[in-house]
């Protein structure tokens, strides 16, 4: 234990040394005029280089030639972000920010996700990224670390996704992609603006046979946008609909992986494990300008989701629910001079609601529906009130103070009373969180900042499932996190960089375990010490080099004889590097993602070795009968490295491993007219 502590102390000293080295090495070119990057996910439209928080901005223009399979490739360049389950559509993409989100058995947890300013995350904290057409994504903003003052329930941070808006002139495009493992994608898009009105319509369909047995998937998306611009703002109406079906090959033991990496778990075949989803979602947003520099937003959304799945087990192995969800919110930003200082005061509220009518049935061999075992209505409502003030303390100092109160009510109404008991109940979870940030401009385009913030994260309705029967697991509590960080960031004509050291102390962290289904318990306390470095260098108009490095010292401090053990599912170190070149009508990119060792269980008995994956992209623009004809291709895992796409944390049968495919390719044709 003493050796481990000395090792971690050395890592922390190295982290601070790297931060100081970065500080002294990049300030020489501070007089260059650059176009400022604005981060809209802060709800105050902060300039990236001056904001007192850890944030990354990813543009789709820097990821030309990607496969449009998941958001994972774009997120690879963000330090502190680890992505799991790129190839198992039934589990869904699972990003983790600073380790928050790695606990999830499927989908996204611990991270608030927005699409075009509207929450994709449900009021209990669960998010499914299937509500996004990957081909329309143009920009992502990632706030790393607690952002409770901004958005409430979520300890890891914020992922804000911006999709394509209607073009200034009538235009259209079509894509066709095919590749390894039966991958096919077709999409058609049309948009344009006439007067004060703009329109966009897009349809896409993606099919994949899968690298492993029993891994076919199909995803169909429809997106429609209407925009109206007035003298004082913009009205945005957006419709998104999806129809997905995915088989789940399941997790394997290490012995099964060694015999055949391509095989599915035998029970997944026996019980025909899969899921089927249909969803429709409609949002309406008004972005307005008020007096002077004041701005505000009013947003609303409503949706309906139908879900069915079959798990690889008999008892309670089939689930279905019909979901209604919606929400309203608003915030207002007021700019004023008070007491001789410039202020930007932002305040607002969020109100969200969810209702699931859920059934559980036994699963019969072959995937047939068995006897009904549970029927209940599950509801979640959340109300959040927030206020944040940014004060300019002289020419170079900015102080940011924020406060937010959240109330989350979760309830179950038991409709299955034939078992002789009523498991109805409700829980109300309240929390008050604060944020304080201070930034100092070292030069015109370089900022040193520090930030302290708290956050909370409630269990979702499904995570509150009682392992001993129906109703809630009343022993499960929300997680609470305290984040402290020190960072340096800046941008010049050729550079953009950021360096951050942080510590996050969390009590009652939510930890999964598997007993047939996945259930959850609280860890007493955990600690996350980390270093994040990122840089983008563009020496001229043709070349660009991007790199990101993370050092993660995450451990349990108090939890079931695992004190000092590392948190599972997160590599100790990760490194991303990409070199791209674009000239005239062609481009090429090569990147690599390198991951250090990690663990698949809290006891650290299942160690997973590190690996590196190299990817190549290339494309060309041709002038012909269409305005632009763009063929492009990609090679993933160029060196045919064997690694795991996903780890099923704390599986009690040792079925931790979901193997990733080896070397794969795809080829595509895009037409713009």
DSSP class per residue in 261-321: TTPPPHHHHHTT-EEEEEEEEEEEEEEEE-STT-EEEEEEEEEEEEEEEE-SSSTT-EEEE
Q: Label residues 287-321 b or e (16+ Cβ within 10 Å = b).
A: beeeeeeebbbbbbbebebebbbbbbbbebbbbbb
Q: Alpha-carbon distance 366 to 32, whole Å?
A: 66
227 in Cβ contact with 166 (< 8 Å)? yes
Three-class DSSP labels, 397-408? EEEEEEEEEEEE
Quote the pLDDT of residue 27.
42
Q: Alpha-carbon distance 251 to 267, whole Å?
A: 10
- Residue 530 banded pLDDT, cuts 50, 70, 90: very high
Q: Alpha-carbon distance 439 to 448, whole Å?
A: 6
Structural domain boundaries enclosing 153: 2-332+340-672
- Least confidently predicted of 38-47, 359-368, 397-406: 38-47
DSSP class per residue in 507-561: EEEEEEEEESEEEEEEEEEEEEEEEEEEEEE-SSSSEEEEEEEEEEEEEEEESTT
What would the two tokens of residue 657 be? Answer: 């491993």
The number of C-alpha atoms within 13 Å of 181 and in the hemisphere containing its C-beta is 23
- Least confidently predicted of 33-37, 72-76, 165-169: 33-37
- Least confidently predicted of 277-286, 520-529, 572-581, 609-618: 520-529
Quote the pLDDT of residue 626.
60
Q: State the alpha helices, DSSP H only, in 26-140.
A: 72-75
pLDDT tens sequence across 475-505: 888 999 999 999 999 998 899 999 999 999 9
Domain CATH number, residue 524: 2.40.170.20
Quote the pLDDT of residue 145.
85
Quote the pLDDT of residue 14.
41
Nearest partner of 637 among 591, 577, 573, 602, judged by Cα: 591
Quote the pLDDT of residue 292.
87
Spatial neighbors of 504 by CB under 8 A, at least 6 apart, are 98, 145, 146, 481, 482, 483, 484, 527, 528, 530
pLDDT tens sequence across 337-358: 998 899 999 999 999 999 999 9
Average pLDDT, stretch 628-641? 95
Q: What residues form DSSP beta bridges with 512?
A: 520
Nearest partner of 517 among 273, 264, 253, judged by Cα: 273
Q: Alpha-carbon distance 347 to 389, whole Å?
A: 9
Q: Phi first, then psi: give them for residue 268, nearest 5 degrees.
A: -65, -35
- Least confidently predicted of 228-232, 323-327, 392-396, 474-478: 474-478
115 in Cβ contact with 101 (< 8 Å)? no
| Total count of domains within the chain | 1
- Name the helix (H) or strand (E) containing 421: none
pLDDT tens sequence across 13-23: 444 344 433 33
Q: Alpha-carbon distance 185 to 581, whole Å?
A: 26
Nearest partner of 376 among 389, 357, 361, judged by Cα: 357
Quote the pLDDT of residue 33.
47
Spatial neighbors of 657 by CB under 8 A, at least 6 apart, are 251, 252, 253, 254, 257, 600, 644, 647, 648
Q: Alpha-carbon distance 140 to 98, whole Å?
A: 17
pLDDT tens sequence across 568-606: 999 999 999 999 999 878 999 999 999 999 999 999 999
pLDDT tens sequence across 175-215: 999 999 999 999 999 999 999 999 999 999 999 999 999 99
What would the two tokens of residue 175 be? Answer: 């894509």
Spatial neighbors of 632 by CB under 8 A, at least 6 apart, are 64, 65, 617, 618, 619, 620, 667, 668, 670
- Residue 148 banded pLDDT, cuts 50, 70, 90: low
32 in Cβ contact with 493 (< 8 Å)? yes
Quote the pLDDT of residue 6.
44
Distances (CA, A) of 567 to 251, 336, 607: 20, 46, 12
Average pLDDT, stretch 305-319? 94
Nearest partner of 62 among 579, 460, 629, judged by Cα: 579
- Residue 5 banded pLDDT, cuts 50, 70, 90: very low
pLDDT tens sequence across 55-111: 999 999 888 999 988 898 999 999 999 999 999 999 888 899 999 988 777 778 889
- Residue 291 banded pLDDT, cuts 50, 70, 90: confident
Look-up: residue for tokens 């896409």?
A: 204
For the purposes of burial, counting CB atoms within 10 Å of the CB of 119, is it exposed (0-12), middle (13-18) or buried (19 or more)?
buried
- Name the helix (H) or strand (E) containing 328: strand 318-338
Q: Phi first, then psi: give them for residue 182, nearest 5 degrees.
A: 70, 30
Quote the pLDDT of residue 628.
84
- Residue 441 banded pLDDT, cuts 50, 70, 90: very high
Spatial neighbors of 342 by CB under 8 A, at least 6 apart, are 335, 336, 391, 392
Average pLDDT, stretch 507-513? 88
Q: Alpha-carbon distance 411 to 341, whole Å?
A: 47
74 in Cβ contact with 83 (< 8 Å)? no
Average pLDDT over the chain, rounded to whole? 90
Q: Alpha-carbon distance 379 to 354, whole Å?
A: 6
CA dihedral for 66, 68, 73, 78, sign (positive or negative): positive
Rounded percentage of the chain residues whose pLDDT exceeds 70: 93
The C-alpha torsion from 389 through 392 and 396 to 399, rounded to 10°, is: -30
Radius of gyration (C-alpha) of the chain in whole angstroms: 24
């Amino acid at each position: 234990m003493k050796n481990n502590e000395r090792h971690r102390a050395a890592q922390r000293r190295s982290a601070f040394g790297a931060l100081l080295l970065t500080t002294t090495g990049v300030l020489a070119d501070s007089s260059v005029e650059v176009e400022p990057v604005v981060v809209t996910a802060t709800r105050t439209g902060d300039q990236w280089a001056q904001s007192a928080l850890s944030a990354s901005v990813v543009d789709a223009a820097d990821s030309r030639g990607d496969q449009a399979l998941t958001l994972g490739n774009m997120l690879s360049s963000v330090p502190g972000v680890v992505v799991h389950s790129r190839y198992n559509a039934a589990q869904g993409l699972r990003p983790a920010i600073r380790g928050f989100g790695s606990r999830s058995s499927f989908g996204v947890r611990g991270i608030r996700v927005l699409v075009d300013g509207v929450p994709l995350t449900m009021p209990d904290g669960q998010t499914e990224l299937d509500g996004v057409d990957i081909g329309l994504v143009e920009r992502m903003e990632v706030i790393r670390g607690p952002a409770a003052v901004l958005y409430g329930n979520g300890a890891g941070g914020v992922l804000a996704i911006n999709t394509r808006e209607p073009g200034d002139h009538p235009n259209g495009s079509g894509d066709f992609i095919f590749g390894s493992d039966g991958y096919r994608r077709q999409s058609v898009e049309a948009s344009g603006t006439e007067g004060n009105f703009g329109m966009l319509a897009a349809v896409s369909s993606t099919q994949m046979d899968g690298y492993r047995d029993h891994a076919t998937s199909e995803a169909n998306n429809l997106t429609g946008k209407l925009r109206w611009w007035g003298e004082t703002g913009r009205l945005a109406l957006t419709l998104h609909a999806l129809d997905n079906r995915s088989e789940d090959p399941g997790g394997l033991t290490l012995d099964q992986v060694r015999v055949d990496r391509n095989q599915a778990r035998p029970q997944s075949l026996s019980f025909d494990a899969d899921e089927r989803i249909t969803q429709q979602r409609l949002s309406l947003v008004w972005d307005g300008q008020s007096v002077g520099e004041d701005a505000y937003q009013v947003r609303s959304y409503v949706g309906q989701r139908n879900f069915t799945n079959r798990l690889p087990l008999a008892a309670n192995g089939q689930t279905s629910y019909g979901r209604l969800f919606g929400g309203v919110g608003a915030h207002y930003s007021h700019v004023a001079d008070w007491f001789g200082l410039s202020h930007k005061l932002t305040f607002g509220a969020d109100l969200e609601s969810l209702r699931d009518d859920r059934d559980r049935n036994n699963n019969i061999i072959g995937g047939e529906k068995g006897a009904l075992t549970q029927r209940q209505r599950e509801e979640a409502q959340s109300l959040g009130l927030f206020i944040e003030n940014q004060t300019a303390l002289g020419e170079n100092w900015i102080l940011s103070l924020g406060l937010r109160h959240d109330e989350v009510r979760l309830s179950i109404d038991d409709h299955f009373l034939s078992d002789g008991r009523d498991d109805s109940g409700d829980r109300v979870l309240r929390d008050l969180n604060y944020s304080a940030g201070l930034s100092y401009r070292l030069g015109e385009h370089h900022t040193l900042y520090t930030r302290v913030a708290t956050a909370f994260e409630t269990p979702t309705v499904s995570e509150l499932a009682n392992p001993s029967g129906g109703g809630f697991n009343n022993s499960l509590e929300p997680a609470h996190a305290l984040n402290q960080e020190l960072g340096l960031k800046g941008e010049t004509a050729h550079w953009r960089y950021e360096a951050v050291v942080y510590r996050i102390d969390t009590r009652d962290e939510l930890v999964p375990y598997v007993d047939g289904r996945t259930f959850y318990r609280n860890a007493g306390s955990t600690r996350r010490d980390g270093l994040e470095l990122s840089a983008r260098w563009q020496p001229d108009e043709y070349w660009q080099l991007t790199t990101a490095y993370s050092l993660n010292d995450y451990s349990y401090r108090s939890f079931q004889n695992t004190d000092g053990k590392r948190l599972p599912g997160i590599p100790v170190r990760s490194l991303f590097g990409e070199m791209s070149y674009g000239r005239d009508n062609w481009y090429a990119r090569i990147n690599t993602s390198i991951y250090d060792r990690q663990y698949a269980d809290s006891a650290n008995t299942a160690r997973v070795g590190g690996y590196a994956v190299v990817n190549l992209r290339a494309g060309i623009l041709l002038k012909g009968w269409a305005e632009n004809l763009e063929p492009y291709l990609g090679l993933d895992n160029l060196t045919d490295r064997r690694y795991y796409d996903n780890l099923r944390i704390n599986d009690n049968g040792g079925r931790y491993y979901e193997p990733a495919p080896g070397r794969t390719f795809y080829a595509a044709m895009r037409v713009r007219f």
